[in-house]
Structures are given as C-alpha cells and as structure tokens.
C-alpha cells in the first residue's frame, strides 16, 4: 500500500488525505488528487467549515466528549472509485489532526484515538537552545501586566461543584488559549494546597480531578491531573508529564533511579509546547516537611526549558524541549539553582557543579548577575575563613574550611534596592574539603563583604586609592584615601584578635585628615599579623550614631614591625587640620621636638609642656616650632580660635617617655 498527504491546496483549508491504493494504481491516484481536493473542499463548506477571519478555516460543527466535556473537531470520510475501479478512501481531518494510519503506527503516550483531538508530540519546532541564552525566563514572550485583571478574577473564583463548572466560570474572562491556561494556572496555584499527610499515605489518595477539587489539596499527581483536565475542558492541548525532580529533600550531587518522583504539565500554545509546574507554583513546605504555605511562584509558569531542566528531568527526553537534550548524568551533576536565583536577575554560578573539591584548602566561587545584588552565605558543619567581594554584576567568594569532610554551603541574595527585603537562598553547594590550610587566619572582626564596591559608592565613598579588599604592607604602614560624594562625618578603627584595646584606643593607630571632599587615612600597625580596618559614617546633620559601612583586610608579615600610636586628638581638632610631625604619641625624654601642623581659622597656636613654646605660621601655610621635653611627662598642642578670646583649646596630647 502507498500513503500520500495532499498539501498542495493553496487555499487555507487544511486537508490531510490518506490514500490506500495498489502500487500499480499510483498514477490514477495522482490524477484524482486535484478532483478530490475540489470535491472535498466543496463538501466541507456544505458540512460547516467556516473561516475564523484570520485566514484559518475551522470546523463549525463540534462533537462533545461526554467524559471531559471537551470540544473535538469532527472527521469527514469520503469513499470514491476511479474509472478503472480502484477503491480509494479519503479521510479529511482538520488542521493539526492525525490520519488514522499514522495513529496506528505511532500509538503511545501523547496520541489519542476515538475521535479526540490528537496531541502532537514535541519536535524540532518546540526545542530551545541549551544552555540558557540568558535572555528570557519564559518560553514565550508576554507582559505580566496583561494578566493583572485576569489573575485577580481567577483568585476570587470559588466554584467547586464540578471541574466543568469551574472552567466555565474561569472562561468568562479568558478567551485566548494563553488566557485560558493562565486562568487555570492562577486558580490552581491559589486554591489547591499541598497535602503533606497525603504524601505519606499515597495509597489512600484519589488523584481524580473532581476529588482534588473537592478536597482542595493533593500532591503533584493531583495538581498535574487537575491542570490537564481543566485545559482539556477549555479546549487547550495539555500533557501530564512525570520524571525526576530536585525538590524538597534533594541533596547536592544526589543520583536518581527507580520510580519517578514528580509530575508536571506541558501545554500547547501558539504552535509550540510549553512547560508548567502548578505544584511548585502554589507554595512551599518547611524544612521539617510538616507545614505547607501558599506562596505563589511565577517562575514555574511557561518556564524556559533550559531553566526548567535545572530541577525537572522528564521520563521522555523529548519533553525537555531542548537541543541538545540533557543526560541524566548531567542533570545529577549540574548545579541546582533556586527559582529565586533567576527571579532576582542572577545569571550563572561558577563552578556550575553541585559538588566542589577544595584545592589546597580553598574554594573559589563566582556568581554573575544582571544588576548589583547583596549576598551572604552560610557554611554548615565547619568553621571557615572567608572573603566575599561584591561586584557590580555579581560577587566573588573565597572560602577556607577549617575542617575536612563534606559541608553544605548556602548562598543567599537580595536586591540592592529595598533594604527591608529579606535574603533568599539562591544556591546550595556541597564542599568536599580534603585538607585544611592552617596558614590562613582572618580576624574575627572581619565582616563580609570585604573591600570597596558599588555598595560603598552608594554610601558616599568614591575613588578608593586601594581597590582590592586586601591591603598588603611589609613595613606596617599604608595610606588610604577616598572622595566623598555626600556630606559625611567619618570614623575609622583598627582591629585584631591580638589587639586587646578599647574602641577609642583602636583608633589611635589611624590618623585621619579631611580636606574638602577628600578624606585621607594614615595607618600604622602596632605589630605583625592580620588586621581589620573598619570605616563608619553618618550624615553631618544627623545627631545619631555612626553606621558601619565596610572594611578592609590588612596583612603584614614583617615580625619586626612595631609602630606607636598617633597622638590623642580632642573635639577641637577640626576638619581640615593636618599633623605632619611628630606622629608618634610617645615622645622621647630630654629632647627638642619639632612640630609642624596645618591649621586653619585660628589666631594663635603653641605647645604646652613645662614651658610654653609658640608655633609660628610660615609662608607655606604651616604652623611650625619646637619644644623641649626636659622634665615633663605630657605635651599638649593648643590653639586660640579667636584673638578676642582668652581661653585656649587643646587639640593634641602626647606622652613623654619615663626618664
């Protein structure tokens, strides 16, 4: 027998003719092709084919399926004979239906008989490129704003007498296939709860759509079954899919075998298949698997297949809708990205594998994002030294676990705008630590993130002279400067695990000078080791406390370093004052000491010890002079701000070594 499809008809009428003829009669069949097309077209028009105004001809007459109530197009069968007596049967089907012979040859999941509309299996047209192209989270473009009224309506619908009645109510405002699917999706996600008790007693559960509707709860099979029937009633092609999932209880690097553990759906819209998971779209379960909370998740509606495969592996690889398809081994080893990862604008993480092996006791992770984001992390089961650096488009994390073994790492994120928002878990890794780097030891006071970033720029600190998060110094000294974009008061402090000083004393190793909108820090370390340099700020007009902004890690390996503190300054030490010498707070006894300072808006200045030594304003704008430390224990620098005043103010204090 021969099989032929007539597709040469230039009219919009879509006809598929199944010709069953003997090989020697093929010429006769070809001759009859044109006549049969014309005859069939005229017959179809008499039988009720009408145009829909969009260039498509559809059957006007429908046959109603008594089980689901879904509308199914009728089939016309024409029997005729050639002049030579060859018997020919022509089946005329509506567009996108399947000839009976094809059905018989292709029976299986996704094909239907008995007059129902055929469900087209996924093909090349449905495939999306893998990996993700980073362009869109959805498999088809649409604006969520177009669904605002529809969603609001669907959420309020309470019809539960029957599935048919529910769909009929939803379809009052849903007209296109996309709107129908959206209304069904929205209703299920807001009205069907996950049945935690039923999950442990599946043998007692009914997954029939009418029972799921009446009870208002089910597990994934019930969600998917109800979704499928509601789509069928609405006249939208829908498939119930099953496979493996990385859902509740999933462990990084877990392998999958045996019975499939999840169910979801595929819907046919605009000539292509799309994926939805109404179970995961409805809400979440707590860590103890004891409580379900309705928490709508838009991510799982028409999800881009290259993202859906992240945690859904169908039993039939064709339903991945991907080119190339992902293997089970890839699915098992691939990183699990939480839905919040993509919803927040994050793009990728490196390494992309769920399990990371330490290299020389260290793990390095990079996260890419579309926009500036805030991050935090937690390593469970072990202490770890870490450095997290924010980037304008993501972050870098260096981790040094202090215990061998397998540890769970969770990474959290939140948008940079809207400080009230909470951090959401977006990534989970398993860290396999084979060896500990004992040479790494960061101070406890080191806060994450470390170093300047887009965040510190928003706080008003621009153009840092040190852009790296770690400052290395061999002689124990370094300078640091910023341009301030806001009218800020700034404080800084130095911290170390071995530096047992008060907060005020910790600032004595920092000399701060502010000239206009530039602020400079001169830092002297008291000894070798690792230190934290913290910066605090507040608006000058704000009478409140200083707020922490950011910090640096300072590393000094030189064991001979031992710098003294800077002199104590008082409240009258004004912005714009600068000390050039002496810088050490402890002065040698019985010596002449030179002084050089830049002071402004004062009438007089002098050094007070056993005697008074005046400072003279030089031509280059510095107040200079000297004093003797003979017979004294303390030295003060004092100023007279107004010539009409009689009282001098202390601005600096020095101590003198014991004689």
Burial bucket for residue 229 (CB in 10 Å: 0-12, 13-18, 19+): buried
Mapping DSSP onto H, E and C, the string for 450-510 reads CCCCHHHHHCCEECCCCCCCEEECCCCEEEEEEEECCCEEEEEEEECCCCCCCHHHHHHHE
Strand boundaries in 576-619, DSSP class E:
578-581, 586-587, 592-598, 604-608, 612-617
Cβ neighbours, 10 Å, residue 250: 16
Mapping DSSP onto H, E and C, the string for 370-426 reads CCCEEEEEEEECCCEEEEEEEECCEEEEEEEECCCEEEEEEEEEEECCCCCCCCEEE
| Catalytic positions, written as ranges | 220, 262, 277
The dihedral through the CA atoms of 121, 125, 131, 134 has a sign that is negative
Strand boundaries in 52-124, DSSP class E:
57-59, 62-64, 71-73, 76-81, 87-92
Burial bucket for residue 492 (CB in 10 Å: 0-12, 13-18, 19+): buried
For 278, left (φ over 0), alpha (ψ -120 to 50), or beta?
Answer: alpha
Which of 556, 550, 547, 555 lies closest to 447, judged by CA? 550
Tokens 């402090």 — which residue?
493
């Amino acid at each position: 027998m021969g099989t032929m499809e007539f597709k040469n008809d230039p009219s919009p009428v879509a006809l598929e003719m199944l010709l069953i003829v003997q090989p020697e009669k093929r010429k006769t069949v070809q001759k009859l092709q044109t006549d049969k097309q014309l005859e069939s077209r005229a017959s179809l028009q008499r039988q009720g084919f009408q145009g829909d105004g969009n260039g498509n001809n559809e059957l006007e007459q429908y046959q109603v399926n008594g089980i689901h109530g879904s509308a199914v197009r009728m089939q016309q069968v024409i029997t005729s004979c050639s002049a030579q007596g060859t018997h020919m049967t022509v089946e005329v089907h509506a567009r996108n239906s399947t000839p009976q012979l094809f059905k018989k040859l292709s029976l299986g999941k996704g094909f239907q008989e008995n007059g129902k509309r055929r469900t087209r299996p996924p093909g090349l047209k449905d495939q999306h490129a893998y990996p993700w192209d980073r362009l869109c989270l959805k498999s088809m473009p649409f604006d969520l704003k177009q669904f605002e009224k529809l969603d609001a309506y669907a959420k309020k619908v309470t019809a539960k007498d029957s599935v048919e009645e529910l769909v009929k109510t939803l379809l009052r405002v849903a007209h296109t296939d996309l709107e129908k699917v959206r209304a069904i999706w929205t209703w299920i996600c807001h009205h069907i709860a996950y049945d935690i008790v039923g999950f442990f007693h599946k043998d007692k559960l009914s997954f029939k759509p009418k029972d799921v509707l009446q009870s208002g709860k089910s597990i994934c099979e019930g969600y998917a079954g109800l979704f499928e029937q509601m789509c069928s009633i609405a006249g939208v092609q829908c498939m119930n899919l099953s496979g493996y999932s990385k859902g509740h209880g999933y462990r990084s690097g877990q392998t999958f075998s045996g019975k499939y553990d999840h169910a979801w759906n595929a819907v046919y819209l605009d000539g292509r298949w799309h994926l939805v998971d109404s179970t995961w779209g409805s809400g979440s379960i707590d860590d103890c698997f004891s409580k379900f909370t309705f928490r709508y998740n838009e991510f799982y509606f028409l999800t881009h297949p290259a993202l859906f495969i992240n945690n859904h592996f169908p039993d039939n690889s064709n339903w991945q809708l991907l080119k190339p398809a992902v293997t089970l081994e890839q699915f098992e080893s691939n990183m699990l990205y939480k839905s919040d990862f993509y919803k927040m604008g994050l793009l990728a993480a490196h390494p992309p594998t769920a399990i990371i092996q330490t290299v020389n006791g260290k793990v390095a992770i990079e996260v890419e994002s579309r926009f500036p984001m805030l991050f935090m992390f937690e390593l469970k089961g072990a202490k770890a030294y870490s450095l997290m650096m924010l980037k304008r488009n993501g972050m870098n994390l260096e981790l040094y676990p202090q215990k061998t073994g397998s540890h769970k790492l969770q990474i959290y994120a939140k948008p940079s705008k809207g400080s009230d928002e909470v951090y959401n878990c977006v990534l989970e890794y398993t860290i396999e630590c084979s060896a500990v780097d004992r040479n790494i030891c960061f101070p406890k006071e080191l806060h994450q993130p470390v170093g300047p970033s887009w965040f510190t720029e928003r706080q008003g600190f621009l153009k840092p002279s040190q852009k790296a998060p770690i400052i290395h110094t061999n002689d124990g000294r370094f300078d640091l400067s910023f341009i301030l974009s806001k009218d800020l008061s700034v404080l800084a402090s130095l911290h170390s695990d071995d530096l047992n000083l008060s907060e005020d004393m910790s600032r004595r190793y920092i000399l701060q000078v502010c000239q206009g909108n530039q602020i400079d820090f001169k830092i002297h370390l008291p000894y070798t080791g690792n230190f934290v340099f913290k910066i605090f700020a507040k608006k000058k007009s704000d009478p409140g406390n200083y707020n922490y902004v950011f910090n640096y890690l300072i590393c000094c390996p030189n064991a001979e370093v031992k710098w003294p503190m800077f002199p104590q300054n008082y409240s009258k030490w004004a912005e714009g004052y600068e000390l050039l010498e002496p810088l050490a707070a402890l002065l040698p006894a019985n010596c002449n000491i030179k002084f050089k300072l830049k002071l402004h808006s004062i009438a007089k200045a002098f050094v007070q010890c056993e005697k008074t030594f005046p400072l003279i304003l030089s031509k280059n704008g510095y107040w200079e002079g000297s004093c003797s430390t003979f017979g004294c224990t303390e030295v003060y620098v004092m100023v007279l701000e107004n010539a009409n005043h009689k009282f001098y103010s202390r601005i600096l204090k020095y101590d003198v070594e014991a004689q």
